[in-house]
Amino acid sequence: MNPMTKADLCEYDLPRYEEGKALAEKLCKSLNCMGGEEATALGFADGMTQEHRTLQQAAFRLVMSWIRNHAEAKYGCDLRNEASVKLAKRIVEAVGDDAHLPYV
């Protein structure tokens, strides 16, 4: 379960929230191609391994936040995302509350 919702954000954080939504849109646009998804995923994974270690951990916090959100399937689930929702639920069950990723 996500510890924070949009309602919990202060006015200062709202621009960062919108930045996150824009990031999701940009990522989805890069994935919205026939047959190139694997190359995009590989490029992303390789690129992230070259980033600063603190940024890698921050990115992983972002990914875990999305996994927890996706596991709740608040916006619906059908055959197009059923497998990823099921996997997200398995990840959340396996990790439980032991997913603290500190800022170092």
Residue 4 vs residues 9, 13, 66, 69: alpha-carbon distances, Å = 8, 12, 12, 11
pLDDT digits (tens, 9 = 90+) for 36-93: 788 889 999 999 999 999 999 999 999 999 999 999 988 889 999 999 999 999 999 9
| Residue 1 covered by a domain | no
Per-position b or e across 47-77, b if 16+ CB within 10 A of its CB = eeeeeeeeeeeeeeeeebeebbbbbebeeee
**Structural domain total, the chain:** 2
Which band of pLDDT confidence, cut at 50, 70 and 90, is reported for residue 35? Answer: confident
57 and 95 part of one domain? yes
Whether 41 contacts 63, CB under 8 Å: no
100 CB contacts (<8 Å, ≥6 apart)? none
| Residue 24 covered by a domain | yes
| Residue 101 covered by a domain | yes
Q: Is the dihedral of CA 24, 85, 3, 62 positive or negative?
A: negative
Q: What is the pLDDT of residue 3?
A: 63
| Residue 18 covered by a domain | yes
The pTM (predicted TM-score) of the whole model is 0.82
Q: Residue 1 pLDDT more than 50?
A: no
Q: Write out the residue range of the structural domain in which residue 82 sits.
A: 52-104
